[in-house]
């Protein structure tokens, strides 16, 4: 249950109001509809998001037994580390990587889960990725697509336990770096 839900009101003219306090919403009897929605930032919402992603990934893994499953680790070298601090630049680099990987194999139906992690020792940014595909992926293909650091590719297709890497990757959804100020992790406003 969300700790700080948002209260939304909208009417048939398309006006929408979002407030944290339900007593600030209009009550003029002109056909306003109301809803309570989660904030998506409190610890409870983040936990719910993590559980939802775990369920989706495990369902996909269960229903696609013939697919290849890869665990990919992408690191960022010192030259690009400052660029990856910018959210839009980081997102652009990740999207380019996914597009290149799909293009080099002519595959558009691949599914993936990508999670950012910060290392324990030096708080270094890197990414863990679970990659579901119907085709074999080689280290050289991934290396050609990721220009920003080292890669590690583990083929989990023939492992008896394919769920452990999925759970390992998704535990980082709620993890924040040690250098991240606690004021910025959660803002109740």
How far apart CA 94 and CA 44 sit, in angstroms, is 28
Tens digits of per-residue pLDDT, 159-184? 667 778 788 888 777 765 444 433 33
| pLDDT recorded at residue 148 | 92
Tell me what the mean pLDDT of segment 3-15 comes to. 79
Tokens describing residue 148: 């920003």
How far apart CA 147 and CA 12 sit, in angstroms, is 50
pLDDT at 146 over 90: yes
Q: Do the Cβ atoms of 57 and 166 come closer than 8 Å?
A: yes
Q: What is the DSSP letter of 125?
A: E
Tens digits of per-residue pLDDT, 45-100? 888 888 888 888 888 877 776 578 888 999 998 888 888 888 888 899 999 999 99
Decide: helix, strand or coil at residue 161. Answer: coil
pTM of the model: 0.71
The percentage of residues in the chain with a pLDDT greater than 90, rounded to a whole number, is 15
Q: Please report which confidence band the pLDDT of residue 157 belongs to, taking 50, 70 and 90 as the band edges.
A: confident
Q: Do the Cβ atoms of 61 and 164 come closer than 8 Å?
A: no
Any idea where the domains of the chain sit in the sequence?
6-37, 50-181
The domain made up of 50-181 has a fold known as: Alpha-Beta Plaits (3.30.70)
Q: Do the Cβ atoms of 172 and 115 come closer than 8 Å?
A: yes
């Amino acid at each position: 249950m969300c700790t700080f839900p948002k209260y939304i009101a909208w009417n048939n003219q398309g006006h929408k109001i979002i407030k944290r306090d339900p007593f600030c919403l209009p009550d003029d009897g002109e056909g306003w509809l109301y809803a309570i929605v989660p904030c998506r930032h409190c610890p409870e919402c983040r936990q719910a998001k993590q559980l939802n992603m775990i369920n989706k990934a495990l369902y996909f893994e269960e229903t696609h037994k013939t697919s290849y499953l890869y665990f990919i680790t992408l690191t960022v070298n010192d030259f690009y580390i400052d660029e990856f601090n910018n959210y839009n630049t980081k997102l652009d680099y990740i999207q380019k990587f996914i597009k290149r990987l799909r293009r080099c194999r002519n595959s558009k139906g691949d599914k993936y889960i990508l999670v950012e992690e910060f290392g324990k020792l030096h708080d270094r940014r890197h990414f863990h990725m679970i990659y579901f595909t119907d085709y074999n992926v080689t280290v050289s293909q991934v290396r050609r697509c990721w220009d920003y650091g080292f890669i590690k590719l583990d083929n989990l297709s023939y492992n008896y336990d394919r769920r452990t890497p999925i759970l390992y990757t998704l535990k980082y959804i709620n993890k924040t770096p040690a250098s991240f100020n606690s004021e910025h992790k959660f803002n109740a406003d």
